[in-house]
Amino acid sequence: MKNPKPQEWKSSELSQGYIADYKPFNFVDGEGVRNSLYVSGCPFACEGCYNIAAQSFKYGQPYTQELEDKIMNDMAAPYVQGLTLLGGEPFLNTGVILPLVRRIRLELPEKDIWSWSGYTWEELQKETADKKELLSSIDILVDGRFELSKKNLMLQFRGSSNQRIIDVKKSLKQGKVVIWDKLNDGKQAFEQLHKEQMI
């Protein structure tokens, strides 16, 4: 796992404008029915990453205006609650994501936007202007690197216990991290077995 210094990694230098996948109308990437955009490129390189292929900034296909229009059309469906941004690392693909997010805020302001990020909330406060704009434009942030030693299958919308589901609007207003008020983790934690224990 890599830990960047503030403003060390820049979307303008790293992003290739590629997306790994787009999954409309799913129920797993946040609350309600969601459309999920998986961007390509993530230098955090967390051990046990579930989407290793998307760590490459050139994995998948280039993001296009046609895809953006499709996302907007899918987002307009009345049963869709919002957009989810995953990856890869969304905050290192702001050239792709910010125009889409701005358009959603303008044309579909009733929809919510979730994002996963390897950055923590605290790190994003010290980051570049584009990352701060993206943060201020979303509703929910699931923050922090995935830590294999803290993996817990009972966590809601997270892979490891260090990660948090943060209410961005309330956190910005109060100047501190405010956890999503609908958090509902399972009560039982499952210990992770090492390979030698499984033989």
Domain boundaries, the chain: 11-197
- pLDDT of 64 over the 60 cut: yes
7 in helix, strand or coil?
Answer: coil
Quick one: pLDDT at residue 73?
98
Question: Which has the minimum average pLDDT: 80-94, 103-117, 178-192?
Answer: 178-192
Quick one: pLDDT at residue 156?
80
- What is the average per-residue pLDDT within 54-78? 98
CA 160 remoteness from chain centre: 14
Predicted confidence (pLDDT) per residue in 48-57, tens digit: 988 899 999 9
| CA-based torsion, 100, 103, 107, 108: positive or negative | positive
The residue assigned the tokens 């046609």 is: 66
Q: What is the chain's mean pLDDT, rounded?
A: 92
Instruction: Check: pTM over 0.85? Answer yes or no.
Output: yes
Quick one: pLDDT at residue 187?
63
The whole-angstrom separation of Cα 147 and Cα 161 is 8
pLDDT bracket for residue 60 (50, 70, 90): very high
